[in-house]
Structure formats: structure tokens, C-alpha cells
Amino acid sequence: MSSSYDKCVRCGSCVKFCPLFDAVGEEQFSPRGKIYLLQIMDQIEDDPELAKEFRQLLFQCTLCGRCSEVCSSDVDLLKVWHEQRAKAVEMAPEEFDYLDALRNSLANVANIYGLDPEDRAIYWLDELEDDIPGLGDRVYEKGKTADTMVFLGCLMSFRGSQMDVLRSLFTMLEEVGEDYLVMGAEENCCGHPLYLMGDEKGAAELRQHNKSVIEDAQAKKVVTCCPGCLIQLREYHNLEKVEALHHTQFFDQKMASTPIYEQTEELAYHDPCELHRILGIKTEPRSLLKKLGVKYREMEASCCGGGGLLRMTDPGLSDIIIQARAAKEKLKDTVVVTACPSCREQLLASENRTKDIVELLADASKGGAE
Amino acid sequence: MKLRDIAIGANASMYYRMDFKKIRGVYYPKTEADVLAAIAFARENGYDVTPKGGGSGLSGACTGGDIDRIMMSSLQMTEMLAISKDMGYVDVQPGLTPDEINAVLEPMGMKLHVAPSSRDIATVGGILSTDGGGNDTWVNGTMRDNTIKVKMVTYDGRRLTVSHEGVKSDDSELEAELNNKGMTINDIASSHGTLGFITELKLFIRPLVNETLAGSLVEFPDYDALGQAVDEIIKRKSPIRYGETIVTAHPDVREGFNPPLLILQYPEGYDSELSEFVDVKKLDKEELKRMKDVRLKLPKRNPKKGVQFALFEGYGFHEESLRKMQSALDEIDALLQSHDLVPFAKYGHAPSKWYLGDNTAAYGIILHSREIRPEGKTGTELLQILLDIVERCESLGVTPKPEHKWPFDDKTKSARLSELRKIIGQGFNSFILDETCNGVLSSMV
Ligand SMILES: Cc1cc2nc3c(=O)[nH]c(=O)nc-3n(C[C@H](O)[C@H](O)[C@H](O)COP(=O)(O)OP(=O)(O)OC[C@H]3O[C@@H](n4cnc5c(N)ncnc54)[C@H](O)[C@@H]3O)c2cc1C
């Protein structure tokens, strides 16, 4: 059977959509360029330097999936990139030493920062307990049950820059009277970073624990703000009788209407790639924005540069992508509304202003924007 | 060697396996000065220069063959330099695509009216170099008809501005010599990068026409009926704003439609005249959109088993060969099948316009053709089939590759290019005019 990249007719429709090509402007960074290299691999694989360069090139990609979306030749490019990444790491693990710290953290403490797993519910609990009374009781312990399990993910559990989103998330869960628990110290990384480097075995080990906790808590739903975590929860955790939802889906279902957001700033909506392109969640974020009565402009459905581990594998390229994006979309006087902790980090790192949709919800419920 | 020296070979034609060691440099200039510097490097080292745009050309011309060469891509020359709505032009660098240009123009109510199906990647520099067109060429002409003038740089580093009237250059001697030869945009059109590197184009833009269009589907019992209907459209100068045909399609991608057929759009009310000579089936907005999409995606789709490829991407049916399309197509199909090539799809622009090698305009159907890639055929065998098709086309009065104007075969055009190259230098994309061209291409399949 021919591999699916053989079906690529190299028409080039993917080239100009690719954020990496946009950033660098050279063919080898484009999806067509990479597929072409695969198609003629027999001519280059004997050269160890070229083979090495190719393995590196595979990780210079945000896995945003735009190439798969525009391809009319039935090439599942995202699948090709995943398979090729796995192959590259397997063939030359020594070239990916720089990923070892991450891999070791995940193996040892089940989070991407190498921090004590007990600390998963420490930072934000300290910060938010006064604002949200009883939040401590919401942290899962064996024997506790709830309708909804909140899966925060590593970024939201450990990063101070996510605190406002967390505050808004918990505020809104209280507001809608949800019976919920947060996984806290019992949460493992969802496995997404390992999945992105093609380590299916490592990812599966992490998921197993999450699955048993969520099912032990008898949750009917698991809600996360992170599209990467949602890919893992929805597609790979094999959860039985548990619906995995993005927080925008959850609140859109729960709230037939919302208070109106008192808008004082110019807003633009950035669709996180993993949310709209890979998970197909497009209507709920917009439905919430509509209910909130906000006026916003749609940003190009293009990547922020933070996906596919690019921040780790080539931070310089990742910066170029977000800077180019910010300039092209004239973000200087705009607050970017989004719904992904990773996009948020990327936007903040390049000094853009950003709000998660749940922050708008919480502001509106509180009676107006600050 | 680095991967950038290899990935530059990525292109849509079947000629993509090359000897990468012969690529002596890869350049992505941003300015004319960068272009001049790259050409100087090539000249000093005796290398050829191969210009490349979007790499969507199907005749292998952007590969440079197997000469020691530098590859010069226009993909970073993407500035819109000036827009004059009042005077109806736009000045652009060569690496922009029609889609990119129109994304800026359309909000202003203006448009560049050149629409190849590949308009999301084909660059205006590349489109002029192949004199491409699209589904509206019948109304709006080919790329040359939409180009006012171009700036280009020759192998010896001289600069030219070429318009429909003639040539201007800082070098008065060169200017006089080229004007003596009557050089105009017609020569740049379809020159396949053999004359120099286009660094800037002044293109016609026109207002977006705000007319209400009706869409319809016309099905035909056979190819002759289709050809005669298009011939009639041409004679009547029918106001067809969009005209595409699907002549055959593999069952895997046929999606319930019934070729041969025409998908037409014209000003509301014109159907009464159209019904005088064809059976018109009106399409609502959604149906029309679907049909257009099916047509647009045909060159990119694949059968369930096997992969499509463009062995011979286009046939220009005009005059007698248009009116008697059935026998011409039957002969072509028989030829393909005798070489174990399974036809995958034939579709194209109808009515359309293209230019012959002597720059006279032809009107008819530009029919693109895709086959299923046969297992186990060598490059030499495939190229031989292709040459057989060219020969057959000539005997049938069909223009081979009307959109891509295969200079390797169009004797009039290649003689003219060779004549001009004697004046402006011989270092650009030379393999195309070399007698070994066919052999080189066959080694790259
Ligand atoms: C899916 C698909 C659909 C297509 N549909 C159509 C269609 O509807 N109509 C049509 O006409 N064609 C069509 N084509 C063919 C192709 O898109 C055209 O030939 C197009 O004009 C090529 O433009 P490019 O920028 O990709 O040029 P390339 O393929 O990169 O180059 C083509 C030629 O132009 C020369 N060149 C490029 N840039 C320059 C420059 N700056 N200076 C000098 N020479 C230069 C190159 O040397 C080469 O000889 C299609 C192709 C594909 C893959």
C-alpha cells in the first residue's frame, strides 16, 4: 500500500497557508516542501547530514493542521507529520536530547514543569480561595464524587499567567451551580506533549491514571479549557460514559443566555487551531460571544505559533510567527479573545493583550468589564 | 548541500526527481538588487539561472533541467508597490498570487481578472511566463492581456522594461536592438523564464462588476455536441462570465454528475438566447457552488486506487478540432490506452482563449487532462508517450498544452526566444531550448 504522502500532487495549495512558510519564506519549511522531501527520500537518506536536518525540520512545524484542511488530494498531512516525528525520534533519539527534560518530568512527576505533583492544586488554591469560598473542598480526593470533573492541564495548574482565567472559570462554575471537582494532585499531564513527539506509549501511561480518577469520581462530564488536553481526553483516554467538553461548549450548553458584556475595548477572536480545526469546535465560542453581545472581528484562522511543541523545539521561529501575526492583524490596540491556555501564553509572551472567553463571561456576570 | 537546495525542486509537474548536486545556489531575493547580486554570482561562475514562482507549472520548466544552475524563487517578492484605482493598475512584485492581490483589491471594489485554478499559489511572474489564464479568459483574456508592462533583469545584469509597445532600457543600444526585433510583452508571455527574471509587473485592474449572474448546467450526449455548442458561443460572442467543462471524470470523483457538461454563468436573462442552441438546466446558488467546487478540485483529487498525474496537461480544441471533438478525443484516448494509461479526468475552460506561438489568438476549449499514474513505466517511456501525443495533436489540429505553451515543442516560439536570447544573453533556463531537453525531462519523471 502506498503511504498517503504519495498522493500529494505537489500542487502547492498548502504553501501560502503554512505559518512556518509565512515566517521563513523558504520551500523546505512548507508542507509541500516537506512532503516532496519524503517523496524523494531515497535520493537523500544516505546522506547523514541531510537525514538529520530532515528530522529537525519535522519539529519545525506547529501541527496546526491547516495544510490538511486545504489539501484536496486526500493526504492526511497531520497524520504524516505525527508518524514521521515518531519515526525520527525512534531513529535518532540522541538528536532529541533537548526533549529529555520534558520527557523525564512527565515520567517522574507527570507534569511538564518537573514540579511536585502535590503542587498542582497549591498555587491557584492559595491565590483563589478567598475569592471563591469553598474552593478547597472542590479538589478531588479518593471517595469524592461529582457530576463534572475539571481537568486544568499543566499550563493552567502551574502558570501564574493563567490565574485570571482560572478565577473566571471557577466563578462561572459556581455561578451556574455546577456540581464539580478539580482533579488537583491526582491530575496527570494528559499526554499531549508526548503525543506531539510521537511517544504513544508514554502518553498512554499518563492517560491511564486520569481515566481511573475521572471514572472513580463518577463524573458524567470532564471539562477543560485546554484544546490540547481535550484532544487527549476526548480522543485517546477511552473514557466510558464520560463526555469530554471544552469549557466554551460546557458554558454554551449551560447558559441559554448570558448577561451582556460591557465592552470598552476592541476585540478580535483568535480560533485556537486545535480547537476549531482538529476538534471541530467552532460554533460554541462564537455562540457565547454572541450571547455576551460583544462586537469582535474574526482573525485569520491561522496559528499563533505556539503549537506542535514549536515553543520548545524552535522558540525563535515561534516568536517570528506570533510577531508577524500581530503585525498583520494589527493587534496593537486590540484585545485578542481566545479559548486556549497555550495561545494565551504565546500572545502574552509577545506582549499582546488577551482574554479567555470565560473571562468575558465572568466579567459580564459580575456586572460589566473592569 | 542543505535541504533548502533540494526542497526548491518541489513542483507540481511529473518532473521532480533531479540531480540536486547541480543546484549551485538557492536564492529568495526580496528586491531587484538581490536579484542582480544572485545573477552576478551565477554569471561569474558560469551557472545558468532558473526562475521559480509557485512551482505549480506542469511542464517542468521551473526545475531547470540538469544544468549547473542557481534557482531563484520569487516567493519572497510579495510587495504590492502601488495601486491606482482611478487609472486601473497595480504595481506588484512577481511573487504575489492573484488571490493575494485580489484580497487587497476586492474590498476597494477592484479586481485583477486572471483566475487560473491554481491562483492560490501560482505567482503573477509565473503566470505571465506561461501566459496562463482561467475560467474567465474568454472575457478577460490571458495574463498577457492583463499585463501593462514588466521590469526584468537579464543574464548580463541589464534592466529592461517591456510593454505592449516595446522595450525600454538604461542601455540605449540594447533598447534599440530589441525594438528593432519588435520585442514586446508577447515575447515575455510564455517565455518560461528563458529571457530573464521578472522583478515587477504593472497589471490592469478593473472594477468588480456588479451584475446579477445566472448559473446553469448544460449536459451533452457526446463530445461533438459539446464542441459545437462552444463553437456557437464563440461565434455569438456570448456573454459567458464563467465557463467550465467536465468532459470525463473517473467514477470515484464523478459525484453523480453526468459529463460531458458545461457549467456556465452569464448575465440574468441571457438563457433565452442560450436555449436557442442548448438545453439549459438552471442551477440555484448552492448547486452552482457545488458544481464549481467539484470542477476546481478535479486536478487535486485522487481515485480510490492509484494516484492521478498530469502526463499531458492540456489540449486546445479550436475551429475544426472543436467542432469535431469526438473523433479527436477518441484518438487521443485510444493513444493513451494503448500505453496502459487510464484516463482519470478531462475538464477545462470553455469557452476560452489562448495564443499560438506566432501570437495569434485562438478560441475554443482548453481541456486539462489527468491520467492514473501507471505502475512500472520508465521516465523515457512516459516522455515518449507525451511526444506521441504532441505529434497526434498536431495532426488533429489541436494545440498541445495551450496554457503552458510548451516552448520545447512550439517551434515558432522557441525560434523567437532563441533569437532574442542572442541579444539579451543565454543564461536563463537554457535547458528548455536545448535539444537534449526531452531526454533530460524523461530522466526526471
Ligand atoms: C492544480 C493546478 C491547477 C492549474 N490550473 C491552471 C489554470 O487554470 N490555468 C493555467 O493557466 N494554469 C494552470 N495550472 C498551471 C500553473 O499554475 C501555471 O502554469 C502557472 O502560471 C505557473 O505559475 P507559478 O508561479 O507556479 O510558476 P512556476 O511553475 O514556478 O514557473 C513557471 C515558469 O515561469 C517561470 N518563472 C516563474 N517566475 C518567474 C519570474 N519571476 N521571472 C521569470 N520567469 C519566471 C519559471 O522559470 C517557469 O518557466 C494549474 C496547475 C495546478 C497544479
Residue B70's Cβ-side half-sphere holds a number of Cα atoms within 13 Å equal to 24
Interface of B with A in 276-335 (CB under 8 A): 297, 299-302, 307-310
Judge whether residue B281 has pLDDT over 70: yes
Question: Rg (Cα) of chain B, in Å, rounded?
Answer: 21
Q: Is B7 on the interface with A (CB under 8 A)?
A: yes
The residue-averaged pLDDT of B90-111 equals 98
Task: Collect all residues of chain B within an 8 Å Cβ-Cβ radius of residue A6.
Answer: 307
Q: Residue A38 and residue A36: Cα distance in Å, rounded? A: 5
Residue at A31 is within a domain: yes
Question: Residue B263: which H helix or E strand, with range?
Answer: strand B261-267
Alpha carbon of B405 to ligand 1 centroid (Å): 11
Residue A104 corresponds to which amino acid?
N
Same domain, A246 and A277: no
Q: Residue B309 and residue B14: Cα distance in Å, rounded? A: 7
Judge whether residue A18 has pLDDT over 80: yes
Nearest CB to B300 within list A6, A11, A33: A11
- For ligand 1, is residue B332 a contact (CB within 6 Å)? no
Residue to mutate, B35, B52, B428, ligand 1, most ligand atoms under 8 Å from C-beta = B52
Q: Residue A5 and residue A14: Cα distance in Å, rounded? A: 13
State the total domains in chain A. 3
Last residue of a domain, one of A254, A288, A318: A254
Residue at A306 is within a domain: yes
Task: Collect all residues of chain A within an 8 Å Cβ-Cβ radius of residue B122.
Answer: 12
Longest CA pairwise span in chain B (Å): 65
Task: Collect all residues of chain B within an 8 Å Cβ-Cβ radius of residue A36.
Answer: 7, 9-10, 16
Q: Residue A248 and residue A287: Cα distance in Å, rounded? A: 9
CATH of residue A56's domain is 1.10.1060.10
Residue A361 corresponds to which amino acid?
L
Nearest CB to A37 within list B3, B308, B309: B3
Test mutation, B102, B302, B309, B444, chain A, max A CBs within 10 A: B302
Nearest CB to B28 within list A25, A44, A47: A25
Judge whether residue B228 has pLDDT over 70: yes
Same domain, A155 and A183: yes
Q: How many residues does chain B have?
A: 445
Alpha carbon of A87 to ligand 1 centroid (Å): 35
Q: In Å, how far are A18, A48, A59 from A311, measured between CA atoms? A: 17, 26, 10
Residue A122 corresponds to which amino acid?
I
Predicted confidence band at A3 (pLDDT cuts at 50, 70, 90)? low
Predicted confidence band at B147 (pLDDT cuts at 50, 70, 90)? very high
Residues A144-192: tens digit of each pLDDT: 999 999 999 999 999 999 999 999 999 999 999 999 999 999 999 999 9
Nearest atom (ligand 1) to Cα of B135: 8
Question: Residue B175: which H helix or E strand, with range?
Answer: helix B172-180
Residue with CA at minimum distance from ligand 1 atom 27? B126
- For ligand 1, is residue B59 a contact (CB within 6 Å)? no
Residue at A328 is within a domain: yes
Judge whether residue A370 has pLDDT over 60: no
Higher pLDDT, B58 or B364: B364
Residue with CA at minimum distance from ligand 1 atom 16? B57
Q: Is B11 on the interface with A (CB under 8 A)?
A: yes
DSSP state of B170: S
Residue to mutate, B13, B130, B292, ligand 1, most ligand atoms under 8 Å from C-beta = B130
Q: pLDDT at position B135, please?
A: 81
Last residue of a domain, one of A254, A289, A308: A254
- Beta strands A148-150 and A180-182, pairing class: parallel
Shortest distance, CA A51 to any CA of chain B (angstroms): 9
Alpha carbon of B126 to ligand 1 centroid (Å): 5
Shortest distance, CA A29 to any CA of chain B (angstroms): 9
CATH of residue A162's domain is 3.40.50.1860
Shortest distance, CA A9 to any CA of chain B (angstroms): 6
Pick the CATH number of B213-400 from 3.40.50.300, 3.30.230.10, 3.40.462.10, 3.10.310.50: 3.40.462.10
- Beta strands A334-338 and A266-269, pairing class: parallel
Residue to mutate, B48, B62, B140, B430, ligand 1, most ligand atoms under 8 Å from C-beta = B62
Taking alpha carbons only, the member of B311, B312, B322 closest to residue B396 is: B322
Q: pLDDT at position B407, please?
A: 63
| Ramachandran quadrant class, B217 (left: phi over 0; alpha: psi -120 to 50; beta: rest) | beta
Does the beta-carbon distance from B4 to A9 stay under 8 Å? no
The residue-averaged pLDDT of B306-314 equals 86
Same domain, A202 and A276: no
Residue B311's Cβ-side half-sphere holds a number of Cα atoms within 13 Å equal to 34
- For ligand 1, is residue B130 a contact (CB within 6 Å)? yes
Residue at A351 is within a domain: yes
Under a CB-based contact definition with an 8 Å cutoff, are residues A361 and A355 in contact?
Answer: no
Question: Residue B314: which H helix or E strand, with range?
Answer: strand B314-318
Taking alpha carbons only, the member of A233, A259, A261 closest to residue A246 is: A233
pTM, to two decimals: 0.95
Same domain, A249 and A174: yes
Judge whether residue B244 has pLDDT over 60: yes
Residue at A240 is within a domain: yes
Same domain, A210 and A246: yes
Chain mean pLDDT for chain B: 94
Task: Collect all residues of chain A within an 8 Å Cβ-Cβ radius of residue B299.
Answer: 9, 11
The residue-averaged pLDDT of A232-237 equals 98
Q: Is A48 on the interface with B (CB under 8 A)?
A: no
Same domain, A170 and A300: no
Residue at A80 is within a domain: yes
A231-245, B180-194, B312-326, B394-408: which has the minimum mean pLDDT? Answer: B394-408
Percent of chain B clearing pLDDT 70 (strictly above):
99
Q: Is B161 on the interface with A (CB under 8 A)?
A: no
Task: Collect all residues of chain A within an 8 Å Cβ-Cβ radius of residue B95.
Answer: none
Structural fold of domain B3-74: 3.30.43
Which cell numbers in the block locate residue A204? Answer: 498512554
Under a CB-based contact definition with an 8 Å cutoff, are residues B373 and B305 in contact?
Answer: no
Residues B47-94: tens digit of each pLDDT: 999 999 999 998 899 999 999 999 999 999 999 999 999 999 999 999
Residue at A260 is within a domain: no
Q: Tell me how far the alpha carbon of residue B7 is from its chain's centroid.
A: 22
Shortest distance, CA A307 to any CA of chain B (angstroms): 23
Residues A69-122: tens digit of each pLDDT: 999 888 999 999 999 999 999 999 999 999 999 999 999 999 999 999 999 999
B159 forms beta bridges with: B153
B347 forms beta bridges with: B246, B368
Query: Strand, helix or coil at B181?
Result: coil
Last residue of a domain, one of A91, A118, A148: A91
Residue at A261 is within a domain: no
Q: pLDDT at position B309, please?
A: 86
Same domain, A277 and A314: yes
Does the beta-carbon distance from B7 to A12 stay under 8 Å? no
Under a CB-based contact definition with an 8 Å cutoff, are residues B58 and B13 in contact?
Answer: yes
Q: Which domain holds residue A312?
A: 267-365
Task: Collect all residues of chain A within an 8 Å Cβ-Cβ radius of residue B28.
Answer: 25-26
- For ligand 1, is residue B55 a contact (CB within 6 Å)? yes
Q: pLDDT at position B402, please?
A: 86
Which cell numbers in the block locate residue A243? Answer: 463526555
Q: pLDDT at position A1, please?
A: 36
Residue range B80-207 in CATH 1.10.287.1080? no
Alpha carbon of B33 to ligand 1 centroid (Å): 24
Residues of chain B with CATH 3.30.465.10: 80-207
Nearest CB to B2 within list A6, A35, A53: A53
Shortest distance, CA B444 to any CA of chain A (angstroms): 11
- For ligand 1, is residue B224 a contact (CB within 6 Å)? no
Q: What angle do CA A181, A183, A188 make, to 5 degrees?
A: 165
3-state secondary structure chain A: CCCHHHHCCCCCCCHHHCHHHHHHCCHHHCHHHHHHHHHCHHHHCCCHHHHHHHHHHHCCCCCCCHHHHHCCCCCCHHHHHHHHHHHHHHHCHHHHHHHHHHHHHHHHHCCCCCCCHHHHHCHHHHHHCCCCCCHHHHECCCCCCCCEEECCHHHHHHCHHHHHHHHHHHHHHHHCCCCEEECHHHCCCCCHHHHHCCCHHHHHHHHHHHHHHHHHCCCCEEEECCHHHHHHHHHHCCCCCCEEEEHHHHHHHHCCCCCCCCCCCEEEECCCHHHHHHCCCCHHHHHHHHHCCCCEEECCCCCCCCCCCHHHHCHHHHHHHHHHHHHHCCCCCEEEEECCHHHHHHHHHCCCEEEEHHHHHHHHHHCCCC
